[in-house]
Amino acid sequence: MAKKKLKELVINRDWCKGCGICVAFCPKKVLELDKEDKSVAVRPQDCICCKLCEIRCPDLAIEVVIEPDKEK
């Protein structure tokens, strides 16, 4: 299986409540909470597109968008 490549980490700041779950469980430490307590991708380049952040986010606030080319 070809490695997936991140296109974008879409974080809906209106929905994010800053619980820190995505931050805590990201295997690559891609995410952090900013001072407004919203999740931000500080190291997007490290993202392995595992989507663990997306599927666990209780606020459905993260979407991991993968490069379409790689997906096919």
Partner 1 sequence: MAIKDYLRQRFFPHMWCPGCGHGTVLNSLLRAVEELGIEKNDIVMTSGIGCSARISGYVDFHSLHSLHGRALAFATGVKLSQPKLKLLVPMGDGDALAIGGNHFIHAARRNIDITAIVMNNKIYGMTGGQYSPLSGVGKKATTAPYLTIDNDFDVVELAKAAGATFVARTTTFHATEATDFLKKAIMHKGFSVVEILSQCPTHYGRKNKEGDAPQMVANYDKITARLGSKKLEENPALIGRGIFVDRQAPEYCEEYDKIIEYAMKGRK
Q: Is 66 in the site for ligand SF4 (CB under 6 A)?
A: no
Footprint of partner 1 on 6-25 (CB under 8 A): 14-21, 23-25
Largest Cα span, the chain = 38
Q: Which two tokens stand for residue 22?
A: 């995505």
Cβ nearer to ligand SF4, comparing 30 with 72: 30
Q: Is 47 in the site for ligand SF4 (CB under 6 A)?
A: yes
Cβ nearer to partner 1, comparing 17 with 45: 17
